[in-house]
Structure formats: C-alpha cells, structure tokens
Structure 1
Amino acid sequence: MTTLRLLRRRRFLPLFCTQLLNAFNDNLYKTAMVLFVVYAVYNDPEAETQFSAIASALFIAPFIFASAISGQLADMRDKAKIIRTVKLCEIMLMTLGAAGLFLAWQGILIHTFAIPLMLFALFLAGVQSTFLGPIKYSILPQHLRKQEVLAGTGLIEAGTYLAILCGTILAGWIPVEVAMVLILITALVGYRVSRGIPPAPAMGTIEPIDWNIFRSSAALVQFVLKDRVIYLATIAISVFWTVGAILFIQFPPLAKNVIYASKEVATLFIVMFSIGIAIGSVIINHLLKGEVSARYAPLSVIAMGFFILLFYIFVRQWPVGFEGDLLTIPEFLAFPLAWVLLGNLLLIAMAGGSFVVPLYAFLTTRVARDRASRTIAATNMISSVFMVGGALLAILMTVIGIGIEEQLLAGVVLCLLTSWAAKKLYAEEHLPSMHLDQE
C-alpha cells in the first residue's frame, strides 16, 4: 500500500516526524495554557470564552501578515534548510512559553506578566507555523512521485491531527509543571529530527524576495484568483477552518459551563475531533485511490454541518442543576448522552477530514513546483483571515449574549455555504490550470 510504504522512505519519514512533533508541541503548549487559565485563573464564562478566542486569534494572526514572505522564501530557498532554522527558533520560543507557565503556576504576576508572556510565546509559535505551513505540503511534489502526493498529503494531515490528539491529551492530564518541561524537550527532539530531511532546493528561477508584506500579500491573493479551481479550493478550505476555529474556541467553556465537566472532559472533546480528522483523512485517500478530486467534498461538508446540528441538539438535552465539583471523565461517561456527544464529535471531524485533504492536494498539483509554496501560503493567509473572523465572531456572539450552545449553529450555516463552493469546485476541477504554463 502506497500510504504505508511512504512511512519507510527517508524522502518522507523525517518530514512527517518533524511536522508531527511540531503539531504536538504547539498543541501541548496551547492547550496547557488555555486549560490552566480557564480552570485555574478565571471563573467567568464570558472571560473564559474571550480568552480562548484571543489565544486562537494570536496563534492565527501571523499567517495573515507573514504568509507572503514565508511562501516566497520556501519557493526561493532550500525548504529543508528553512525547516531546520525554524525548528531551532522553536527552542527559544518554547523557553519563553515555559517561563510563562512557571510564573502562572507559582502565582507570580499572573495577569500583569505571566499571561501576556504566555500569549506572546503562543504568537511566536504561530509565526513558526506560518513558515512551516507552506513547506509541509509544497515539498511533497518535490520528494514524492505524482501518484504518491495525495497519499503523502493524507498522511501529513492524519499525522498532524494524531499529534494534536496526543498533545491535547497530555495537556489535559499532566500537571502544568510537567508540561513546561516537556515542551522544551519536544522542541529539542524536533530540531534533531528535522536534520534528516533531504535537501529541497528552489525549483525555478530565483527571484528577489519582496519584503513589503502588503504588496507581496496582494500579489499572493491575485495569483490565487487567476485559477478558478485554486480559488474555489482556497475558499472552501478557509471556511472549513473557520468552522474548526469556532468549535475549538467553544470546547473548553462549553465543557465547563454547559456540561459542568472538568478540563479532562474538555480535552476529550478535542481528542475526539482530532481522531475524527485523522480517520477522515485516511478514508478519503482510500475512496479516491490516489486521484486528486473534489468528488466527495460537497457531501462531506453537508454531512459535517448535519452532525454539528445534531451535536447542538444533543448538548441542549444535557441535564442541568449540577452542584459541587465538576464532572470527571468517568462521571461524565456514566451518562449515556455523553457517548452520543463524543460519537457525534467523531462524525463531525471524520466528515471534515474527508472534505479538506483533497483540497490541499489541488493546491500542490495544479501549479508549477516553483509556485507551490506560495500557493499554500496564499491559502494559509486567506484561511487565517477567515479564522480570525471566526474568533471575532465567537467574541461578538458572547458579548451580545448568545449562549455557548447556540454559537455552534454558526458552524452549520458556514458548512452549508461551503457546500456551494465544493459543488462548484467538483464541477470545474477538470478545467485546464492557468499556472502550469510556468513549468
């Protein structure tokens, strides 16, 4: 099987492991920070939701202003060298994050220094991911055969979410003092693994880097607009991640204030979502048999919206009037409805994974290899604008008094809108590319 064979190839395995460790560390740090602040610092649903949204927005924001630079660098320089440089910087930024966690754990200057320092480190983690984001997909056509690209994309996506799963589980279960040590160890291991990635030099003409972020960002967006298939794939991916952002923002306050459950249950919600994405990524690769197509995209995103609606309905049925300590995982799982909620989350994410993986494959196969990184960077930038919009929407809905449960319905509406773009994409996916003449 092509998918499993790739995991034994040096041209793929070090990249896969580097991305896996990066996603693991980002989510270990972010989840440990958010859960600690939500459960140990604040005691107000509005403040908790706003903090979760601010944290998400800070992590996403660098994709907006730095994607243009990251895409150019990835296309004009050796991608493997960029990865190693970025992973070296991760050691320093995680040192800052660990210091913030330590101060918060000790109760030292929590609001005036510890929380701002943790958020700053999270912002830097977003900068790091901005520079790695275009490479993890655009390097695949350079190291893999054409018939292996979809399998490689699926593995990267599945591995990323399994890493998110592991980082999230650990963040919810281990003490914060253990988390601060583990993020440093993971950063060191990630840098060591990245040194095994084979060279991936620039593929075309070496152009000068345009460091003007406004001009280069506008050029990126203009490039995407030239090809209707890439444009439709980008819009569909962007709305998908907006839905994901809204759901991830809501999970901690939803678990605490609606389900009356502990942070471990909030972690379990994220875990089920991550498992579902990974399963969906593998399933769609099997269904498409290596073909890059949006054949199943409209149905997948409609199914995702339907399962979000069911999740909302089931959450509304959760009993009220709990007193005393928050529910532990065994206490939560003692309710039959808990298993329904978890199964529903799994189905939401499986549909999402089946939807998004082929769309990323479009971005790397419809353009010349020397433009692949910038295409991914453009998509990351546009997606990030949408995701920040999702975070701001969550804050706005909270401020105007919309309940946490009702906020889930925004995801249903967005899924229905995305189905239109997915349907158009499938109808037009065989149109000739506007960019392949650059090869």
Structure 2
Amino acid sequence: MPPAAGPEAALPVAHSQFGLLKQRRFLPFFNVQAINALNDNVFRQAIIGMLFWLQASDEQMALYASLAPAVFILPYFLFSGIAGQVAEKLEKHRLIRITTAMEIAIMLVAALGFMAQSLPLLLVALFCTGVQSTLFGPVKYSILPSVLRPEELTGGNGLVEMGTSMSILIGMIVGGLLFKLAGDQAPWVAGAAVVSLAVLGNLIARLIPRVDAGAPDLKINWNPVPESIRMLKLARKQLAVRNAVLGVSWFWFVGTVLTSQLPAYARVHLGGDETLYIFALALFSIGVGAGSLLCEKLSARTVEIGLVPLGAFGMSACILDLYFARTGVAPASGLDALGFLREAGSWRIVADLLGIGLFAGFFVVPLFALIQSRSPKHELSRVIAGLNIQNSGFIVLAAMSALAAQQLLGWSIPQVFLALAILNALVAIYIFTIVPEFLMRFLSWLLVRALYRLRIRGIEEHVPDEGPALLVCNHVSYMDALILAAAIPRPVRFVMYHRIFRIPVLRWIFRTARAIPIAGAKEDPALMQRAFDEVDRTLAEGELVAIFPEGRLTGDGEIAPFKPGLERILERRPVPVVPMALKGMWASMWSRNDSRMGRMRVPRRFRAHVEVVAEAPRDGGTATAAQLEARVRALRGGEA
C-alpha cells in the first residue's frame, strides 16, 4: 500500500526557520501574534505611564498594582474552557480574524479611557484584553502543527517565542515612553497607538491562509467549570505531554518571579534609575529570543526534548550565580545602563541575565514542540487551553510566593533568587525522574553531538510526517540507533539485538526509548516472537519502527544479506518501507573496525563526519528483503 499523504505533504519545505518568514503559511500569523503581544504591553505600560503623568496618589498606584494583574488573568480561569472548544470547532484563520476584530473594539474602549483619564474604564478594557488573549491563546499554538512540518515545529516555535519576548520588551518601552514624550497630547497619542496596532493586526490576519478546524463537529459546552476540568485532564492524558505542560507552567512560574523582582532589584541591588530595569528586562528578553532561535540549530530540526534538561539546569546555574554576583545593596545609586556597566562586577550580572533567558529558551521551545507533536490534532486546542489554565495558576502562585517570602520571611531579593535556583533544580529533577525520556534524550543528544558531525539527506522529504512506516538501515556501530534517532523528527522505536540492548549506560537509554530487543530463533524463540508481536502492535498504532535487517554489526564494513524477518513483518503489516543508509560510521568510534580496546580510543575517529541518507518509501505489500538490501547498498555507495 502506498504511503498515506498527510496534510503536511503539500506544504513547501523551509530548510531554515528563517525561511518560514518568507512563506505565507507562517509570516502573517507570526506578525499577528507579535503585534498582539506588542499591543497588550503598550496598553498596560501606558496605563502606568498615565498614572505617573497624572501624578496619581500612592493609594491609586497601589490600587492599580493590586487590581491590574488579577483583572488581566481572571479571564483565563473563567473562559479557557470555552476558548479551547471554540478554537477546536472554528477554522483557525477565521478565529484569528474574529479575535483581532475584538481587539479593535477593546482598544477603542481603552482609547476612551485614556482620553477621559478614567482608571475604571481602562480596567474594564484590560479585563476585555484578557478575554481576547484567552480566546487567542489556544489557536496561537494549535495552528502551528497544521501549517508546519514536524521538522519545522522547533524552528517555528523558536520564532514565535522570540517574536513574543521581543514584542513584550518593545511594548513595555514604547508604552512607558508615550506619556513622557507626548506632553499634553499623551492621552490622545496613547489611544491612537493602541487602536492603530489593533487595526494593523486585523488587516494582517486577513492574509492568513485557510486552516481547517481540528474538530468541526464538536458540540460546545458553555458551562466553563466542567470544561476547564475536562481540558486539564486532556492535558494530562499522555505522560510525556502532561509533564511538558507542567514544564511550560513552571517556566511561567520562574519568569514571573524573576520579572516581578527586577524593578526593585535594579533599584536596590544594582543601584539603577528607572531605565536600568528596562535594560535588565531587555537582557532577559534578548536571551530568551536567542535561546529560542538556537533550538533549531542545536536540535538538527527535530523535536529534541534533550535540550530541556540542559535548559533547566542552565537556568538554575545562572540564577544561582546571579545570587552570588550581588548579595547586598548596590554601592551607588541613580545609575543608568552605561553607568551600571562601568561598575565592578556588572558584566557578570549581564552574563547571568542573558544566560537565564538563553537557557529558558532551550527549556520552553522543545516543550511546546513536544505538546504540539504528540497531542492529537483534534484535541490540541483544548490541550493548549488546559495549559493556559494551569499557567495562570502558576503565575498567581509565583506572585504570592515571592510576596510571602519577602513579607513573611523577610527574605531579600537575592535570597528569593537563591531559593528559586534550588527549587528550579528540584522541580527539573522531579520531572525528569517521572519521565526519564527527557534525560534519555539529553544523554543521547550529548553523545551524538560530542562524538560525530552529522549530515542528513532525504529524511525530511521521505520519512512520513504521520502514520506507520518501517525504516530499514545498514548496521555499522553500537551508536547507530542514537544517530538515526537524532536525524529523524518523529519518535522511532528501534528493534535491536538483545546483547546490544543490554550494553551498560546505553541500556538505560535504549530501554527508556522503548527499543525492542530481539534474539535469533535458535537463541531465544520466545523473545523473538515477542519482538515481532511488539513491532506489529507499534505499526498498528501508527508509529515508526526502525530495524537493522542484517541482524548483526558489520565485521568488515560491508553490508551483510538482509534476514527474512523483514518480510515476516511486512506480511503481517504491509506498511510503507523507507530505505536508509549510514555513511562514515565504519571509520568512527564504536564500530568493529578496531579491537575492543581500540573502540574506546579518541583519535581520528572522534567527531567523525557521519551521514544519514533516505530515499522514497517502497510499497510494503510488494517489497522484498533482496530489493530493500539493493536499495540500501545503492544509498550507501562505496562509503561505509
């Protein structure tokens, strides 16, 4: 039977994440979400600017500081259950146009609030902005798997996170300057700015091409309470997704604690004026943007959750160093950014703030990509809605925890950072203990990147984006499965000889990756039968299975005849078969090119150039072992 063509089959290929910015399937959506984040922050910061411009009393400032976060976040608790269903039922391009049209109406109310200098009216508009963000949130992330290929998810999410973080920063700067620079016309300028951005977002939203609904026949339950509970359960249905959702929410917890402390930290411990807080926030935002963009490069265009442990422990290390960099009050005061940079120890703090953001990008981008790739498409919007509910709870918890630590325990801001660094490490260890797949992918990612220089050809074009397929490849070294796993965007289950499966260190990686051990019929017929049954079950569930049909490592660099077990698999389940070849592995570490001790040496084979090549799938109903062996030989050519 021929390979089923998923909706991604007709998508143009972008060989770099920046190539997506030239394609209509991504660019209008990217611009809309960036403008939405920009306008939200221009609006919120302009309200604060207006209060200073009006020389509001301390009571009014305190009232706004208390009410504004609650007013904005309350809709996430109230309406996420409905928003997830709406995002699932409506065409996604249509919903984005509706929410951007809502934004125009809301910003017109905000403009009236600025012109009337009415805080109550501005708080009403802020609540409505929260409602609009609640509706936009599920479609913001659920649209990506519909318009991107699996190998583009990490890069696309990286661009979205970069665009969001930079838009937040620019919005805060612009919103804060409006009432400082516009003089007597500031209320009119602020109103015109937020309305203009809303209109621009709606105009660009009309350029987003059609994206079908995930579940057009879904019957909406307008009671938000049971639906919110149901969506939280959907987000926890699959173990890896559940813990990815927990990881994203924890990212918001850490980010909320850090950013909420930055204004006072910049003033008290860095000795800064009001501009130094923006500088510190800019460093964190630039770090997040850079880390988000680097994810695609580091992951080789796969959904590489191995970056998550690197991000988690990197964040803890940088937050911990930030504590030691400045534990007491600043020796000077009233410093602007340049004045701060001239102070002793300032560049260490700059590096820490950039590093926290950088590792935060490594942490959150693969988690979003995992949620999108492993959640059923007809449930993804509701999973994202459940994620938003949980995020909101973690944001509130973060704000309350930081306040309690300072008010009740008397902690300084650096001590809050120290506690956050330790807590972040403990939470990371907990997540990776519950789902060892994260740590397994990290170890395999480290091994592959440290030992080899990997080149990939034909994987994106020929390995199916969805549905079952059998991958067949030559077998050269003990690292072959890890090399292929690093090259293929989708999760793969490998069938491997049981003695290789039990190699120390690698054994834990293979078991966590759900590899399938197999033995020969004379060696252990029961194990062999269990392996064939598990392969068939895995293919029936629509997953990828990879086998090495030679049945053993090559002893001379040449391909051995393929075993008939390959045909036995296809007789039971005639799925598409993708021929693949490993090139360059014979001259690398861990092949049988050397003696047992020689394999452990580091010399010329360290960082060897290795290539993975794939060609178009073959019909599993007619393919034979001999034909597939010939195709793998041709792919490998003369290079072992």
Instruction: State the TM-score bracket (shorter-chain normalisation).
Output: 0.7 to 0.9
Residues 243 and 435, structure 2, Cα contact 8 Å, conserved in 1: no
* Letter paired with 1:381: I
Query: Aligned equivalents of 1:196 and 1:229: distance in 2?
Result: 35
Distance 1:61 1:336 in 2: 43
Provide the rounded CA distance (Å) in 2 between the counterparts of 1:419 and 1:142.
30
Aligned residue number for residue 416 of structure 2: 407
CA shift, 1:238, in A, is: 0.7
- Contact (CA 8 Å) 2:340, 2:346: kept in 1 or not? yes
Q: Distance in 1 between matches of 2:427 and 2:297?
A: 23
Larger RCO (CA under 8 A, 6+ residues apart): 1
Contact residue 287 and residue 358 of structure 2 kept, 8 A: yes
For residues 53 and 397 of structure 2, the distance between their equivalents in structure 1, rounded to whole angstroms, comes to 26
Counterpart check, 1:287 vs 2:301: no
**Mapped pair 1:92 → 2:105:** yes
Change (3 A) 1:418 1:189: same
Cross-structure match for 1:74: 87
Match of 2:267 in 1: 256
* Higher Rg of the two aligned structures: 2
Distance 2:54 2:341 in 1: 23
Write the deviation string for residues 102-142 of structure 1: whole angstroms up to 9, x where unpaired: 555xxxxxxxx52x443333332222211111111111111
Counterparts of 2:297 and 2:28 in 1: how far apart (Å)?
24
Distance in 2 (CA, whole Å) between partners of 1:377 and 1:297 is 22
Q: Which moved more, 1:361-370 or 1:388-397?
A: 388-397
- Number of matched pairs: 424
Q: Using a 3 Å threshold, how does the CA distance of structure 1 residues 394 and 226 change in structure 2: closer, same or farther?
A: same
Q: Which residue of 2 aligns with 1:18?
A: 32
Equivalent residue number for residue 419 of structure 1: 428
Q: Distance in 2 between matches of 1:396 and 1:47?
A: 23
2:271–2:335: 8 Å Cα contact kept in structure 1?
Answer: yes
Contact 1:53 1:392 in 2 (8 A): no
Identity %: 33
Give distance in 2, aligned partners of 1:402 and 1:345. Answer: 21
Structure 1 distance, partners of 2:102, 2:374, is: 32
- Aligned in 2, Cα 1:239/1:3: closer, same or farther, shift over 3 Å? same
The alpha-carbon distance between structure 1 residues 231 and 41, as it changes in their structure 2 partners (threshold 3 A), is farther
1:309 is matched by which residue type in structure 2? Answer: L
Contact kept in structure 2, 1:295 and 1:426, CA below 8 Å: no
Cα shift at 1:345: 0.9
Of 137, 142, 145, the residue aligned with 2:141 is 137
2:320 aligned residue = 309
Provide Cα deviations, 1:42-70, integer angstroms capped at 9, x if missing partner: 797x9979965653343333222222211
In the alignment, what sits opposite 1:56?
Answer: 69
**Aligned equivalents of 1:40 and 1:420: distance in 2?**
49
Matched ranges for 1:262-273 at <5 A: 262-273=273-284
Q: Tell me if structure 2 keeps the 8 A contact 1:368–1:438.
A: no
Distance 1:340 1:184, change over 3 A: farther
**Quick one: distance in 2 between partners of 1:103 and 1:259?**
38
1:349 aligns with 2:357: yes
* Whole-Å separation in 1 of the counterparts to 2:256 and 2:424: 13
Deviation per CA, 1:159-184, whole angstroms, max 9, x where unpaired?
11121222123234443524443222
Q: Does 1:28 align with 2:37?
A: no
Tell me, yes or no, if the aligned pair for 2:284 and 2:353 is still in contact at 8 Å.
yes
Amino acid at match of 2:322: F
Mark the CA change 1:363 to 1:193 in structure 2 (over 3 Å): closer, same or farther.
same
Q: Name the counterpart of 2:395.
A: 387
Aligned-partner Cα distance in 1 for 2:350–2:209: 40
Q: Is the 8 A contact 1:61 1:388 kept in 2?
A: no
- The answer to whether structure 1 residue 297 and structure 2 residue 308 are counterparts is yes
Distance in 1 of aligned mates of 2:419 and 2:65: 17
**Is the Cα contact below 8 Å between 1:261 and 1:327 reproduced in 2?**
yes
Q: Matched residues in 1 for 2:291 and 2:253: separation?
A: 18
State the AA in 2 paired with 1:340. R
The verdict on how the C-alpha distance between 1:348 and 1:37 changes in structure 2, with shifts beyond 3 A counting, is farther
Aligned ranges 1:368-383 → 2 under 5 Å: 368-383=376-391
Change (3 A) 1:421 1:63: farther
- Give the C-alpha shift of residue 280 in structure 1: 0.5
Q: SS in structure 2 opposite 1:370?
A: coil
Deviates more, 1:379-388 or 1:309-318: 309-318
Q: Which residue of 1 aligns with 2:286?
A: 275
Give 1:248's aligned amino acid.
T
Contact 1:225 1:231 in 2 (8 A): yes
**Which segment is superposed worse, 126-135 or 396-405?**
396-405
Q: Which amino acid aligns with 2:161?
A: E
For 1:38 and 1:320, the matched residues in 2 are separated by 28
Tell me, in whole angstroms, the C-alpha distance in 1 between the residues paired with 2:206 and 2:375. Answer: 28
Moved more, 255-264 or 182-191: 255-264
Q: Retained in 1: the 8 A contact 2:155–2:295?
A: no
SS in 2 for 1:72: helix
Give the TM-score of the pair, scaled to structure 2. Answer: 0.61
2:22 alignment partner, SS class: coil
In structure 2, the CA distance between the partners of 1:246 and 1:47, relative to structure 1 (3 Å rule), is: farther
**DSSP-derived class of the 1:207 partner:** coil
CA contact (8 A) 1:134 1:377 kept: yes
Which SS does the other structure have where 1:175 is aligned?
helix
**Distance in 1 (alpha carbons) for counterparts of 2:299 and 2:435:** 13
Structure with the bigger percentage of helix:
1
Corresponding residue of 1:364:
372
Q: Does 1:6 align with 2:20?
A: yes
Deviation of 1:30 (Å): 2.2
Deviates more, 1:368-377 or 1:172-181: 172-181
Could you tell me which of 346, 363, 379 is aligned with 1:338?
346
Residue 342 of structure 1: how far off its partner (Å): 2.5
Question: Does the C-alpha gap of structure 1 residues 261 and 73 become closer, same or farther in structure 2, counting only changes over 3 Å?
Answer: same
Structure 1 stretches lacking a partner, 5+ long = 105-112
Amino acid at match of 1:65: L
2:242 equivalent to 1:228: no
Distance 2:278 2:241 in 1: 35
Distance 1:341 1:121, change over 3 A: farther
Instruction: Give the alignment's TM-score, normalised by structure 1.
Output: 0.87
